[in-house]
């Protein structure tokens, strides 16, 4: 069913210049057009149709305006929207049951919040209450949020000119196989030695109060860096050796986005705390914190408090339950894996032609394309920006965020409902942009 054109179809584009002066800038470079409608895998600026290969802000897992999601929102807006935070409702109970039943034993209890920053804030606070310690380790290319505690574990950007961070934040080198100096004699990447060295520095810096490590299975903001095979298991062992909890932040990887239901699935470990956001709400503010019965009980005994205005709100939880149903029913995890493999295969063919494509990497429908200066392998952020701008002009949104810290990596993540035809359309625009700019 095709939706109506929407209320803003005739919105004048010149209003962008007139009215954007009232907006406070928050770090992103605004696109030079007003988006007036979104549907499926596309967004529209008036009559201009743009293939959305960033899924909004990595969130519209099922595409824009999915009919069943829209129906769920409408029904609950009329009948069960927002409640006093101590009141439970059927959507909350249903989502908690569905989500924990998808997860292994040890991820037994869930709470639902609004954003990824908030979920990580709660998870870190939970770890501190449970362990009685306060030091938290994040990876050097991490992005876990913009609020106080989650922002303190975010190292990719946003640390300069913001004053002191939370006390107790420590850093572990991110496993960037393309750029790491840690190499074996045969030149292959030696992430095990890099991790051991990183923990030796953490042990030296620690005041003896190590509480948790927080990590993403794919460091999206770090440049779509996929953790090496065995990395999570080794990281978990380092945590257990030091009495720390392992928090896995799956804001972007979960619910099929990375080609499996959850990014940690094949690692051989169960995280102590799991956080979800973006993909769970299909664009609505919905996040989750899931942990074990043991951690939940002890933290309750220690009076863990994270009581917010929108904790366990029924309307977004109803959407989350519907998203899980659709992903499972429509076999979208497999579609994510297959379409992601196809996309990267096509991009690697372009890599054989254009030496400015230094690396193509990813999992499922999370792909990073690293644009470099071939002579030096230096990241070429200026060229990446020109490519992204030309792709947008040609009808493809394929760069999740444009800020200097992201250097030359195009971060691409179509909805997991994307079709083969849409993938090939995106590849064609990517190819044309390269040809026009590089010859």
> Which residues carry out catalysis?
143, 216, 249, 252, 278, 411
Q: How many C-beta atoms lie closer than 10 Å to residue 27's C-beta? A: 11
Instruction: Give the C-alpha separation, 189 to 210, whole Å.
Output: 28
- Inter-residue contact 202 to 169 (CB < 8 Å): no
Q: Which two tokens stand for residue 248?
A: 């896995």
Cα torsion angle, 342, 364, 63, 434, sign: negative
- Inter-residue contact 385 to 407 (CB < 8 Å): no
Place of tokens 């945590």: 239
Instruction: Give the C-alpha separation, 432 to 391, whole Å.
Output: 8
Q: Are strands 109-113 and 210-215 parallel, antiparallel or unpaired?
A: unpaired
Instruction: Give the C-alpha separation, 153 to 165, whole Å.
Output: 9
Residue of 249, 241, 234, 224 whose CA lies nearest to 138:
249
Q: Are strands 396-397 and 409-412 parallel, antiparallel or unpaired?
A: unpaired
Phi first, then psi: what are they for 62, rounded to 5°? -100, 15
Q: For residue 420, what are the CA distances in angstroms to 254, 424, 425?
A: 22, 6, 9
Instruction: Give the C-alpha separation, 335 to 326, whole Å.
Output: 13
**Which residues share a beta bridge with 45?**
48
Burial of 147 (0-12, 13-18, 19+ CB in 10 A): middle
Burial of 167 (0-12, 13-18, 19+ CB in 10 A): exposed
Q: For residue 354, what are the CA distances in angstroms to 348, 370, 372, 423?
A: 10, 12, 10, 20
């Amino acid at each position: 069913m095709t939706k109506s054109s929407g209320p803003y179809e005739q919105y004048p584009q010149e209003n962008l210049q007139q009215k954007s002066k009232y907006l406070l800038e928050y770090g992103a470079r605004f696109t030079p057009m007003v988006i007036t409608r979104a549907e499926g895998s596309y967004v529209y600026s008036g009559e201009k149709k743009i293939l959305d290969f960033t899924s909004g802000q990595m969130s519209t897992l099922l595409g824009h305006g999915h009919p069943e999601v829209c129906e769920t929102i409408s029904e609950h807006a009329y009948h069960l929207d927002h409640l006093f935070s101590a009141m439970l409702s059927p959507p909350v109970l249903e989502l908690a049951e569905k989500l924990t039943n998808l997860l292994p034993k040890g991820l037994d209890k869930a709470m639902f919040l609004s954003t990824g920053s908030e979920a990580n804030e709660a998870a870190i606070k939970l770890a501190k209450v449970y362990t009685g310690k306060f030091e938290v380790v994040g990876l050097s290319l991490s992005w876990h949020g913009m609020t106080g505690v989650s922002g303190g574990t975010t190292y990719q950007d946003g640390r300069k000119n913001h004053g002191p961070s939370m006390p107790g934040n420590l850093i572990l080198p991110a496993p960037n196989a393309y750029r790491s100096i840690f190499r074996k004699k045969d030149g292959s990447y030696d992430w095990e030695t890099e991790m051991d060295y990183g923990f030796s520095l953490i042990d030296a810096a620690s005041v003896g109060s190590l509480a948790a490590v927080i990590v993403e299975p794919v460091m999206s903001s770090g440049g779509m860096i996929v953790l090496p095979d065995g990395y999570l298991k080794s990281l978990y062992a380092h945590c257990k050796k030091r009495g720390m909890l392992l928090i896995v932040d799956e804001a972007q990887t979960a619910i099929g986005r990375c080609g499996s239901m959850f990014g940690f699935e094949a690692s051989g470990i169960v995280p102590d705390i799991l956080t979800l956001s973006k993909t769970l709400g299909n664009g609505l503010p919905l996040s989750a914190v899931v942990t074990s019965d043991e951690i939940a009980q002890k933290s309750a005994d220690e009076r863990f408090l994270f009581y917010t205005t929108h904790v366990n709100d029924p309307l977004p939880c109803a959407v989350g339950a519907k998203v899980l149903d659709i992903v499972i029913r429509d076999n979208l995890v497999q579609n994510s894996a297959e379409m992601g493999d196809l996309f990267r295969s096509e991009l690697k063919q372009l890599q054989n032609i254009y030496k400015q494509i230094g690396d193509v990497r990813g999992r499922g429908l999370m792909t990073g394309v690293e644009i470099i200066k071939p002579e030096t392998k230096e990241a070429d952020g200026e060229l990446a920006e020109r490519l992204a701008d030309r792709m947008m002009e040609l009808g493809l949104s394929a760069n999740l965020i444009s800020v200097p810290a992201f250097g030359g990596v195009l971060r691409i993540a179509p909805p997991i409902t994307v079709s083969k035809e849409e993938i090939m359309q995106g590849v064609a625009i990517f190819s044309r942009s390269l040809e026009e700019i590089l010859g």
